[in-house]
Amino acid sequence: MPVPEIASTDYITAGIILAGGQSRRMGGGDKSLLRLEGQSLLARVIAALRPQCDALLISANGDPARFSAYGLPVIADTVEGFAGPLAGVLAGLDFVAAYLPEARFAVSVAGDTPFLPPDLVSRLHVAREKDGSEVACAQSGGRPHWIVALWPVAMRFALRHALVEENLRRMEGFLRRYALAQADWPSEPFDPFLNINEPADLVAAERILQEGLAPSHAL
């Protein structure tokens, strides 16, 4: 398993890309590997996050070989029973603690969000510090995106307890237990947190690129 090198910064931050979702409304398979204008959604997420994070990893169950082309660690859930995105975050935080001990924070994103803003990580840090909060999440047009969140790595212990002992599964339910900051982005002329759940979303994303509204990230 490749272990990424990290840079020396005041806030060393790892990126956890949650790429385990099955695209049932898209006909099955990994949503993050769907193609958008010649690139996979995952490639676009990586390209957007790479300049913002000191290290990246992919959180996904199943055969990790399907992500081998991206050269990133692929981390499976350590909580049994397909416990959803919270389990993916926990696996990522545990990996960061073990292999990237200099990192105090990690940001989680979905692997099917191709238009992540270039100031995502910095603005989440600013929001957390400004409000004196423990965690921060992104929102657009006033609508929160719970999966797009900034986590203290040390929160992994409380997260494991919530998953294993309390059977908690909702991201919002866990985050709202803590002092929570939110950083807001406009949702027009496009939503930077558009995620691809169904064919109509992919069509909308293609239109956004064709109209030049969002940058076309390239690896």
Domain positions in the chain are 13-210
- The residue with greater pLDDT, 145 or 216, is 145
- Is 2's pLDDT higher than 60? no
Out of 24-38, 40-54, 62-76, 142-156, which region has the weakest mean confidence (pLDDT)? 24-38
pLDDT of residue 83: 80
Tell me the C-alpha distance between 93 and 158, whole Å: 12
pLDDT of residue 21: 59
The CATH class for the domain spanning 13-210 reads alpha beta
- Is 137's pLDDT higher than 80? yes
What is the per-residue pLDDT across 155-195, written as a single tens digit (0 to 9) for each? Answer: 999 999 999 999 999 999 999 999 999 999 999 999 999 99
Tell me which amino acid residue 136 is.
A
Ordered strands of the 180-185 beta sheet: 74-75, 55-59, 13-18, 105-110, 143-152, 135-140, 180-185
- Is 24's pLDDT higher than 80? no
Tell me the C-alpha distance between 155 and 178, whole Å: 10
What is the per-residue pLDDT across 53-66, written as a single tens digit (0 to 9) for each? Answer: 999 999 999 999 99
Among 10-19, 26-35, 116-125, top mean pLDDT goes to: 116-125
- The residue with greater pLDDT, 183 or 214, is 183
Residue among 4, 219, 214 at smallest CA distance from 106:
4
How many Å separate Cα 94 from the centre of its chain? 15
Please state, rounded to an integer, the average pLDDT across all residues of the chain: 90
Largest Cα–Cα separation, the chain: 48
- Is 28's pLDDT higher than 80? no
Angle at the Cα of 103 (from 16 to 65), degrees rounded to 5? 35
- The residue with greater pLDDT, 170 or 25, is 170
